[in-house]
Structure 1
């Protein structure tokens, strides 16, 4: 969790696509599920509805996927 109580999802690169992130976090089991969530408009990034599966998500971004809120953080190796 980060300082404000929001759980953090670690990524190893400087960015990840939103579709990959939704699968990594487990809110979407497949790419098709991620696509459906995005098409339904139930995913926001930094409080803005996002519909692009390929949108680049970077550390510090806050994602709300159908009520599941998490932050993206850089993995400390």
Structure 2
């Protein structure tokens, strides 16, 4: 599981995917999210700008990202 430590109060979903190295660019993140391949806390998420907070779990291609403060 990849851990992303927040610098602010939140990180956007597309930024989190890039920060974890799961996608190469914002465009790749956009298409992965639009295609329904990304889940946040077990729910499919379609908004690239979805704000992630402390404790959120993102799942993409059998990889998990945990957001921590």
Is the shorter-chain TM-score for this pair beyond 0.5, marking a shared fold? yes
Q: How many residues align?
A: 69
The runs of 4+ residues in structure 1 deviating greater than 2 Å are none
Once the two structures are superposed, what CA deviation does each residue of 1:7-66 show, in whole Å capped at 9, x if it has no partner?
Answer: 421121110110111111110110100011101111000000001000000110011012
Q: Does 1:12 align with 2:36?
A: no
> TM-score by structure 1 length?
0.83
* Structure 1 residues 24 and 7: CA distance shift in structure 2, 3 A: closer
> Computing the radius of gyration over CA atoms, which structure comes out larger, 1 or 2?
1
The unaligned stretches of length 5 or more in structure 1 are: 1-5
SS at 1:44 equivalent? strand
